[in-house]
């Protein structure tokens, strides 16, 4: 893993999903096989495989303090093209410092992560009602998680994290995206732990080799995603849970 501390020029970038996105890191240690964010390699000039480099924007909080004074207030997504709670966040605490500033200045925040490290920041997340925290969980089967997301935290830890956030009164969601095999079996374990669920199909080709290796070609077709999305919707409806398609 190659880690480099860098000084970024800006931190609050415009986003197509929410008004803004903050990415305190370039690169992601979770190294998911299907990750669309690997296009960042092109922009950052990195030659290492995705997941084996991270640039740490050590001036992120200083930049944010200046930028929130100048820009129109809007929804901020943490993060978009990295996981804001990847392991390096334990040491650098950039996500935490950015969150503190956003919350102090009453900017709305949407957190999205695969890591229970988000629980470290419960003390500040509790200070606003203008915040949602989501865990991405893509299958109910941890063996499948290990195949697609070997470096990311286990499913049970993510379920525990979302449950605790919810118990602390934070608006929570689970993002089932991309829908991986056995995603439909997740719904029962989310009952009472989330305010809503977001689902999306696999839209990228980076993990095609995984589907080929395991003979799962039929699990990456329009029919498969339609059928699985329907199963998820039915399970949610049975339990009175709010389920939406992504964006």
Candidates 30-38, 59-67, 138-146, 161-169 — which segment interacts with ligand SF4 by CB under 6 A?
30-38
Task: Provide the residue count of the chain.
Answer: 247
- Reference 28, options 112, 78, 86, 77; nearest CA is 86
User: Which residue, 141 or 151, is less far from ligand SF4 as judged by CB?
Assistant: 151
Signed CA dihedral, 227, 233, 235, 238: sign only? negative
User: Which residue, 118 or 241, is less far from ligand SF4 as judged by CB?
Assistant: 118
Q: Interface with ligand SF4 includes 125 (CB under 6 A)?
A: no
What is the rounded distance in angstroms from the CA atom of residue 86 to the CA atom of residue 209? Answer: 25
CB contact burial 160-191 (16+ within 10 A = b; e otherwise): bbbbbbbeeebbbbbbbbbbbbbbbebbebbe
What is the rounded distance in angstroms from the CA atom of residue 245 to the CA atom of residue 230? Answer: 11
Hey, how many other C-beta atoms are within 10 angstroms of the C-beta on 128? Answer: 16
Query: For residues 194-233, which are near ligand SF4 according to CB under 6 A?
Result: none
Largest separation between any pair of C-alpha atoms in the chain = 53
Q: Interface with ligand SF4 includes 145 (CB under 6 A)?
A: no
Among 55, 83, 89, 184, binds ligand SF4 (CB under 6 A): 83
Among 11, 12, 21, 31, binds ligand SF4 (CB under 6 A): 31
For the bound state, the minimum distance from the C-beta of residue 157 to ligand SF4, rounded and expressed in Å, comes to: 14
Q: Interface with ligand SF4 includes 82 (CB under 6 A)?
A: yes
Among 114, 145, 158, 166, binds ligand SF4 (CB under 6 A): 114
Candidates 32-40, 88-96, 124-132, 166-174 — which segment interacts with ligand SF4 by CB under 6 A?
32-40
Q: Interface with ligand SF4 includes 98 (CB under 6 A)?
A: no
Q: Interface with ligand SF4 includes 170 (CB under 6 A)?
A: no
Report the first-to-last Cα separation within the chain, whole angstroms. Answer: 33
Size of the site for ligand SF4 (CB under 6 A): 10
DSSP state of 192: T
For the bound state, the minimum distance from the C-beta of residue 129 to ligand SF4, rounded and expressed in Å, comes to: 26
Opening angle at CA 149, ends 207 and 144, nearest 5:
85
Among 12, 22, 37, 155, binds ligand SF4 (CB under 6 A): 37
Name the residues that contact ligand SF4, by CB under 6 A.
28, 30-32, 35, 37, 82-83, 114, 152
């Amino acid at each position: 893993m190659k880690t480099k501390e860098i000084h970024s020029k800006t931190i609050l970038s415009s986003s197509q999903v929410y008004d803004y996105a903050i990415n305190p890191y370039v690169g992601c240690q979770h190294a998911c096989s299907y990750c669309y964010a690997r296009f960042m390699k092109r922009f950052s000039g990195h030659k290492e495989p995705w997941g084996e480099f991270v640039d740490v924007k050590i001036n992120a909080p200083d930049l944010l303090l200046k930028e929130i004074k100048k820009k129109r207030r809007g929804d901020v997504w943490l993060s978009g093209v990295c996981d804001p709670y990847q392991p390096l966040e334990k040491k650098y605490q950039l996500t935490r410092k950015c969150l503190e500033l956003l919350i102090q200045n009453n900017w709305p925040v949407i957190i999205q992560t695969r890591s229970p490290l988000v629980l470290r920041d419960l003390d500040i997340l509790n200070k606003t009602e203008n915040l949602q925290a989501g865990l991405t969980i893509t299958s109910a089967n941890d063996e499948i998680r290990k195949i697609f997301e070997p470096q990311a935290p286990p499913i049970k830890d993510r379920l525990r994290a979302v449950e605790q956030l919810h118990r602390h009164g934070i608006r929570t969601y689970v993002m089932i995206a991309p829908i991986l095999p056995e995603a439909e079996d997740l719904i029962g374990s989310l009952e009472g732990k989330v305010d809503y669920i977001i689902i999306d199909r696999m839209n990228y080709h980076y993990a095609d080799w995984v589907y080929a290796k395991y003979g799962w070609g039929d699990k990456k077709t329009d029919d498969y995603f339609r059928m699985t999305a329907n199963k998820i919707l039915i399970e949610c409806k049975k339990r009175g849970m709010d389920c939406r398609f992504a964006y």
